[in-house]
Amino acid sequence: MAPADQDAVTRVLVNMGKSIAAFLRSLRVTESPLDAYASGQLDALTAQQKDGLLAFLTAGCAQCHYGPRLTDGSFHNLRFPTGRQDHTADPGRSDGIPFLLASEFRQTGKYSDAIPATPPPDPIVTPNLFGAFKTPDLRGVAFTLPFGHGGTYGGLTSVIEAHRTAGLPTGSTLTMGDAERFLVSFDPTLEPAIITFLDALRLDMVNPPP
């Protein structure tokens, strides 16, 4: 295929992707009990859910899960097991950065509709990014299993326990890199309360505009 034809086909696919993205941005969700509580409606959470919120904060979950989407948008290594079929450890962000820099679909690429006047600095691979993955959004989390970048945790109980114990032990071949230093082994009795709180993070959709 001639280069001009390749570019034309790519632009069709890019525009399809942009159309889907525009539709997704039109979707809205209803206010969750946590949203209402944060807005001052103190009875929006049940007593059990408030205990769960306290447990969530006490366990240190809010170090990474905060803000409107309950994520810091950063990359961290929790030493969770790989999801690769050959069971080799997944390098995560450290392998993703070279692909990002080489991609013609990045924000500063020719297919972007919003090239920034001052492009952000290119990310670089640092030791802390080996085995690191992006912090997920917690809205609707109870309905998004399995958990972990490899999909190896089948429920909230198992993935919270993995957080509590800083993932797989040193020497495991199913992961790589060093666990984040901020991970702390919180009281396991907090886990049921945390799950009660996470169940309150509903993600009910509002009917999309016509």
CATH homologous superfamily for the domain 31-90+135-210: Cytochrome c-like domain (1.10.760.10)
- The tens digit of pLDDT for each residue in 80-102 reads 999 999 999 999 999 999 999 99
As to burial, measured by CB atoms within 10 angstroms (0-12 exposed, 13-18 middle, 19+ buried), residue 83 is middle
**Is the model's pTM score more than 0.85?**
yes
Could you give the residue ranges of the DSSP H alpha helices within 27-92?
33-38, 47-58
Confidence band for 192, pLDDT divided at 50, 70 and 90: very high
Could you give the residue ranges of the DSSP H alpha helices within the chain?
3-26, 33-38, 47-58, 93-102, 156-164, 191-199
